[in-house]
C-alpha cells in the first residue's frame, strides 16, 4: 500500500512545481522593457530640453530688462548740471550723443569709432553731474550713480571737468573673452571713491546683448516734443545745434540666450517691439547664422529726456 501513495504524492509535486519562461516569452518581455526604457529616456530628454529652453527665456528676460533699465536711467540723468552748478556756461557739447555701428569707441564730442561694431551696434554717450554734500560738492551724497554703480558728486575732485559735467558714460557692445557679445560701459576712473579725471575704466554690464540700436527724437519747433526720430548718422556734427535738439531716445536691444537650439515660439508681451520702418527696432540686424537656433528676443523703449538742453535755456 506504501508504493502507490508515494507515486501519487510525486505526481502532485510535479504538477505544482513552477515552470520557467519560454524563449518566446523572454524575448517579448525584453522587447517590451526596451520600448518602455526608450520611451522614458525620450520623455526625460524632452523635459530636460524644455527646462533648458525655459530657463534660457527667463535669463533673456532678466538681461533685456536690466539693459533697458541701465540705459533708461542714464538717459534720464543726462544733462543734469549738479548742485551747485558746476561752471558749464559757454560750453556746447551735448548731454546726449551717439554713433552708428561703432566699435571700440572713444569719448569725444560724439563717440569716436575705431571700427565696425559687433552686431552693427550703436554707441551712446551721456554726460551728467551728480549730487554732493552741501559743504563739500566733490563728496557724493549717494543719490545719483553712473553705470559703474559708484555715486557721482556735484563737482569733480580734480581740476576741471569735460564740458562742465562731472561724469561721462559711454555705452557700447563688444565681444567678451569667450566671444559672447555683451553691453559695456566706459566711465571715469576714481581715486578714493572720487572722480579725479585721470582716465577711463570699462566694465561689462549685461551679457548676451548682441545688438544695440538707437534713434534720437528731434524737437524741431521747440515745443518740447520730438517731431521725428533719426539715426546718429543723419544728425550733423556737434557744432550744429542738432544734438542739442534731442529730447527723446528710442532704444532697441537684441538679447540672445546661452544654449544653442533653445529657440522656440513664445507668446509676445508688452516689451516685444514691432519692427516698424523708421524705428530703432527696425534697425536691428538679423541673428548671425551661427546663432539662428539660439533663443533671441528684442526689447525696446522710448525714453524722454528730463533735463532741458542748455541751448534751450542759454545761447550756445
Please give the chain's pLDDT, 316 residues, in tens.
Answer: 555 555 555 656 555 556 666 777 778 878 888 888 888 888 777 776 776 777 788 889 999 999 999 999 999 999 988 765 444 444 567 899 999 999 999 998 889 999 999 999 999 999 999 888 888 888 888 888 999 988 988 887 654 445 578 889 999 999 988 889 999 999 988 887 778 777 899 999 999 999 999 999 998 888 888 998 999 999 876 556 788 889 999 999 999 988 776 666 545 444 444 567 789 999 999 887 666 678 889 999 999 999 866 555 544 4
**Per-residue pLDDT tens for 85-136?**
444 444 567 899 999 999 999 998 889 999 999 999 999 999 999 888 888 8
Q: How far apart are CA 295 and CA 258, in angstroms?
A: 8
Q: Are 210 and 181 in contact (CB under 8 A)?
A: yes
N-term to C-term CA, the chain: 134
**What are the boundaries of each domain within the chain?**
48-312
Q: How far apart are CA 133 and CA 101, in angstroms?
A: 40
Q: How far apart are CA 243 and CA 309, in angstroms?
A: 9
The region that residue 189 occupies, defined by phi over 0 for left and psi between -120 and 50 for alpha, beta otherwise, is beta
Please give the grid coordinates belonging to residue 126.
Answer: 551721456
pTM of the model: 0.78
Amino acid at each position: 500500500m506504501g508504493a502507490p501513495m508515494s507515486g501519487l504524492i510525486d505526481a502532485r509535486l510535479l504538477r505544482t512545481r513552477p515552470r520557467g519562461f519560454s524563449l518566446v516569452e523572454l524575448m517579448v518581455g525584453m522587447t517590451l522593457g526596451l520600448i518602455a526604457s526608450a520611451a522614458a529616456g525620450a520623455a526625460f530628454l524632452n523635459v530636460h530640453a524644455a527646462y533648458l529652453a525655459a530657463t534660457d527665456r527667463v535669463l533673456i528676460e532678466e538681461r533685456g530688462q536690466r539693459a533697458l533699465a541701465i540705459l533708461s536711467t542714464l538717459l534720464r540723468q543726462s544733462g543734469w548740471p549738479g548742485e551747485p552748478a558746476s561752471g558749464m556756461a559757454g560750453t556746447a557739447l551735448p548731454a546726449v550723443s551717439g554713433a552708428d555701428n561703432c566699435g571700440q569707441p572713444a569719448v569725444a564730442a560724439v563717440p569716436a569709432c575705431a571700427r565696425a561694431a559687433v552686431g552693427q551696434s550703436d554707441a551712446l554717450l551721456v554726460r551728467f553731474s551728480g549730487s554732493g554734500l552741501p559743504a563739500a560738492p566733490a563728496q557724493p551724497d549717494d543719490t545719483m550713480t553712473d553705470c559703474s554703480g559708484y555715486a557721482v558728486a556735484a563737482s569733480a575732485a580734480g581740476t576741471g571737468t569735460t564740458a562742465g559735467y562731472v561724469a561721462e558714460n559711454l555705452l557700447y557692445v563688444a565681444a567678451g573673452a569667450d566671444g559672447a557679445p555683451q553691453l559695456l560701459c566706459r566711465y571715469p576712473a576714481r581715486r578714493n571713491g572720487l572722480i579725479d579725471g585721470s582716465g577711463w575704466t570699462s566694465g561689462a554690464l549685461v551679457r548676451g546683448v548682441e545688438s544695440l540700436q538707437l534713434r534720437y527724437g528731434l524737437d524741431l519747433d521747440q515745443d518740447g516734443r520730438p517731431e521725428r526720430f533719426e539715426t546718429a548718422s543723419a544728425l550733423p556734427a556737434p557744432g550744429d545745434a542738432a544734438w542739442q535738439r534731442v529730447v527723446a531716445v528710442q532704444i532697441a536691444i537684441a538679447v540672445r540666450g546661452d544654449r544653442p537650439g533653445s529657440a522656440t515660439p513664445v507668446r509676445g508681451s508688452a516689451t516685444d517691439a514691432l519692427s516698424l520702418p523708421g524705428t530703432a527696432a527696425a534697425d536691428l540686424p538679423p541673428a548671425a547664422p551661427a546663432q539662428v537656433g539660439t533663443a533671441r528676443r528684442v526689447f525696446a523703449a522710448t525714453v524722454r529726456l528730463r533735463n532741458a538742453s542748455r541751448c534751450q535755456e542759454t545761447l550756445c
